[in-house]
Amino acid sequence: MNDKPVILVTRKLPDAVEARLKRDYEARLNPDDTLYSKEELIERARGADGILPCHTEHFSAEVIGRLPEEVKIVANFSVGFDHVDIAAAKKRGLVVTNPPDVLSDATAELTMMLMIGAARRASEGERLVRTGEWKDWSPAFMVGTQVTGKRLGILGMGRVGQVTARRARGFDMEIHYHDVRRLPPEVEEGAQYHGTLEDMLPICDFLSIHCNATPETTGLMNAERFALLPDGAIFVNAARGAIHVDDDLIEALQSGKLKAAGIDAYNNEPTIDPRFAKLANTFLMPHIGSATTETRDAMGFRALDNLDAFFAGDEPSDRVA
């Protein structure tokens, strides 16, 4: 008789992660990487002791209330857990974990790519080369914005924000940040703290978003706050699309208030506002901040560490509910 805990895995995971899952658990895998509907998720969870989902599955209060009683833990593969109603999970007694720390480097790398790609008009340039429309060179051809030496404002100085600041210092950028609390001086590494976002925005040549999506931060970057940025500033979001208001961001890009934007996180993913793709001054990625082999393996292993601790009767180190 197999007495291993049964784990429902909602998406196709890296091979190394699935191999460990099959070794230690009775794993219900998703080899075709099908996106389950709400009803499919609830039905497939029957008889499972735990679920290992991604941010593509939404655990609303309704879903949590309808999960089979035997489901005791949701061990997220994704670091963000805004797709889980934490209050409802706590009320039900459902343990929820995430895998922090492991994707900071990969996401910071992508942030720098977005920043440079937007500033140097990478999408426009690549299209010219691919379509054969590049005809000659002139001093006025494809002139962008230099990154080196500019002022970078970071909204949310957590793990990813701190690594992004370190990478940006390699471009001699002056680092400013806003968060709910100031970091110790040894962690700031010379970055300048601003007690309010409104105080920081007017000095940002570049603004990079690294805060979580919460009721307090949803829609934070709206028309009023975009207006506080210097003319020609560049906006980067590799965190969550909910932080910015689509209409207001698009208006700032169309009006020239913003010179450009590098975006990896959107509202209503993957059905994003089509106006973003039509703008020449956007550098767009399909939410791939953590998409390196090393990071995706590490995310899965960290989720499994949390499952291992829970089923051994220990407190998971990354519990959020």
Q: Tokens representing 155?
A: 């909204």
Question: In which residue are the tokens 């390196």 written?
Answer: 292
pLDDT the model gives residue 2:
65
Residues annotated as part of the active site: 240, 269, 287
Return the amino acid letter for 174.
E
Cβ neighbors of 41 (< 8 A, separation 6 or more) are: 10, 57, 63
Query: Residue 24 pLDDT more than 80?
Result: yes
pLDDT the model gives residue 3:
87
Cβ neighbors of 202 (< 8 A, separation 6 or more) are: 228, 229, 230
Question: Are the C-beta atoms of residues 100 and 123 closer than 8 Å to each other?
Answer: no
CATH of domain 6-102+293-311: 3.40.50.720
Which range, of 77-81, 174-178, 196-200, 308-312, averages the lowest pLDDT? 77-81
Hey, which bits of the chain come out as E strands? 6-9, 26-28, 50-52, 73-75, 95-97, 151-155, 174-178, 192-193, 206-209, 233-237, 258-263, 282-284
Q: How confident is the model at residue 80 (pLDDT cuts 50, 70, 90)?
A: confident
Question: Are the C-beta atoms of residues 236 and 207 closer than 8 Å to each other?
Answer: yes
| Count of Cβ atoms closer than 10 Å to residue 173 Cβ | 20
φ, ψ of residue 96 to 5 degrees: the values are: -130, 135
Q: Tokens representing 245?
A: 């208001």
Beta pairing partners, 6: 26
The CATH superfamily label for domain 104-284 reads NAD(P)-binding Rossmann-like Domain (3.40.50.720)
Report the chain's mean pLDDT, rounded to a whole number: 97
Burial bucket for residue 137 (CB in 10 Å: 0-12, 13-18, 19+): exposed
Q: Residue 135 and residue 156: Cα distance in Å, rounded?
A: 43
What is the gyration radius of the CA atoms in the chain, in angstroms?
A: 21
Task: Give residue-wise pLDDT tens across range 29-79.
Answer: 999 999 999 999 999 999 999 999 999 999 999 999 999 999 999 999 998
Q: Residue 287 and residue 278: Cα distance in Å, rounded?
A: 18
CATH code 3.40.50.720 region(s) in the chain:
6-102+293-311, 104-284
Query: Residue 303 pLDDT more than 90?
Result: yes
Task: Give residue-wise pLDDT tens across range 197-245.
Answer: 999 999 999 999 999 999 999 999 999 999 999 999 999 999 999 999 9
Q: How confident is the model at residue 1 (pLDDT cuts 50, 70, 90)?
A: very low
Query: Residue 170 pLDDT more than 70?
Result: yes
Q: How confident is the model at residue 5 (pLDDT cuts 50, 70, 90)?
A: very high
